[in-house]
A and B are shown apart, each in its own frame.
Chain A
Amino acid sequence: SQQGEEDPQALSIQEGENATMNCSYKTSINNLQWYRQNSGRGLVHLILIRSNEREKHSGRLRVTLDTSKKSSSLLITASRAADTASYFCAAYSGGYQKVTFGTGTKLQVIP
Chain B
Amino acid sequence: EAGVTQFPSHSVIEKGQTVTLRCDPISGHDNLYWYRRVMGKEIKFLLHFVKESKQDESGMPNNRFLAERTGGTYSTLKVQPAELEDSGVYFCASSQGREVSPLHFGNGTRLTVT
Residues of A within 8 A of B (CB): 3, 30-31, 33, 35, 40-45, 48, 88, 90, 92, 94-104
Contact = CB atoms under 8 A, between A and B. Distances in A.
13 contacts: A30-B99, A33-B103, A40-B107, A42-B4, A42-B91, A42-B93, A45-B104, A96-B31, A99-B33, A99-B45, A100-B45, A102-B42, A104-B43
Contacts, number: 66
A95 B98 CA distance: 6
A84 B39 CA distance: 19
Contact size class for B?
20 to 34
Given A96-B55, A99-B33, A45 B103 contact: yes
Nearest to A90: B103
A42 B108 contact: yes
Contacts of B2: none
A30 B40 CA distance: 28
Contacts of B98: 95-96
B56 A98 contact: yes
A44 B99 contact: no
B50 interface: yes
